[in-house]
C-alpha cells in the first residue's frame, strides 16, 4: 500500500488522539466521514496502525525511577544477541530496548519502583549470565520533554 498525504495526516492525528471521532478526524484531514473511515480501516488492515492505548500519567500513581542503561555484551554472535533479547523482553520494567552502534550494544529504558528494584533486576541479569560484559546506568532526574507521537508529517512530507 502506497501512502498519500491524507493517510500520513490520518496517522499523525490518530497518534495524537486515538479517541478522536471519525467525524472529527475526517474534518481535520479534509475528507467526508465515510472515505475517512475506509482509509482508517485499510491502514489498520495493512498494519500501519498496530493498536490503541491510553497514555498513563505514571507520576499520579506514585513514585517511580527511570533509568537508561548502556549494555555491552561479551560476545557478538547472533546467538548471544538472541539469548540476551529472549531474557530482556520478559522483564516488564524494560519499556524500551534499542540495538545501537557505537561504544556499547544496547540502550535499555527501565521504569521501576525505585533503585532497589532496578539493582535487583541488574543483579539477576548478571547472575544468570545472559552475556553482559558491562553496563552503565543513568538515572533520570527529570524529563522536561517527552512526546508520545512521531513527527510523521515532517518525516514523510507528501
pLDDT for residue 31? 97
Residue 119 and residue 90 in one domain:
yes
**Cα four-point dihedral sign 54, 59, 61, 65:** positive
Residue 130 and residue 75 in one domain:
yes
Beta bridge partners of 134: 72
The three grid cell numbers given for residue 19, joined into one nine-digit string: 479517541
d(CA 13, CA 23): 13
Q: Which residues of 33-63 are buried (b: 16+ CB within 10 A; e: fewer)?
A: eeebeebbeebeeeebbeeeeeeeeeeeeee
The three grid cell numbers given for residue 41, joined into one nine-digit string: 480501516
**Residue 155 CB contacts under 8 Å (≥ 6 apart), including other chains:** none
Query: 109 is in which domain, residue-wise?
Result: 58-139
The three grid cell numbers given for residue 116, joined into one nine-digit string: 532497589
For residue 23, give the CATH number of its domain: 1.10.10.10
Residue 49 and residue 77 in one domain:
no
Q: For the chain, what is the domain count?
A: 2
pLDDT for residue 80? 97
Successive 10-residue mean pLDDT values, the chain, 158 residues = 94 95 98 97 97 90 96 97 98 98 97 98 95 98 92 87
The three grid cell numbers given for residue 90, joined into one nine-digit string: 520478559
pTM, whole model, 2 decimals?
0.87
Amino acid at each position: 500500500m502506497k501512502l498519500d498525504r491524507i493517510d500520513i495526516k490520518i496517522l499523525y492525528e490518530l497518534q495524537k488522539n486515538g479517541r478522536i471521532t471519525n467525524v472529527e478526524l475526517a474534518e481535520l484531514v479534509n475528507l467526508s466521514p465515510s472515505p475517512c473511515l475506509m482509509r482508517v480501516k485499510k491502514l489498520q488492515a495493512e498494519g500501519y496502525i498496530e493498536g490503541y492505548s491510553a497514555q498513563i500519567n505514571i507520576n499520579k500513581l506514585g513514585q517511580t525511577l527511570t533509568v537508561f542503561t548502556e549494555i555491552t555484551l561479551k560476545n557478538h554472535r547472533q546467538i548471544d544477541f538472541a539469548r540476551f533479547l529472549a531474557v530482556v523482553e520478559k522483564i516488564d520494567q524494560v519499556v524500551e530496548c534499542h540495538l545501537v552502534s557505537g561504544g556499547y550494544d544496547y540502550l535499555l529504558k527501565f521504569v521501576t519502583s525505585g533503585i532497589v528494584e532496578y539493582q535487583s533486576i541488574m543483579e539477576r541479569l548478571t547472575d544468570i549470565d545472559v552475556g553482559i560484559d558491562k553496563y552503565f546506568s543513568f538515572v533520570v532526574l527529570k524529563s522536561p520533554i517527552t512526546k508520545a507521537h512521531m513527527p510523521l508529517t515532517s518525516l514523510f512530507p507528501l
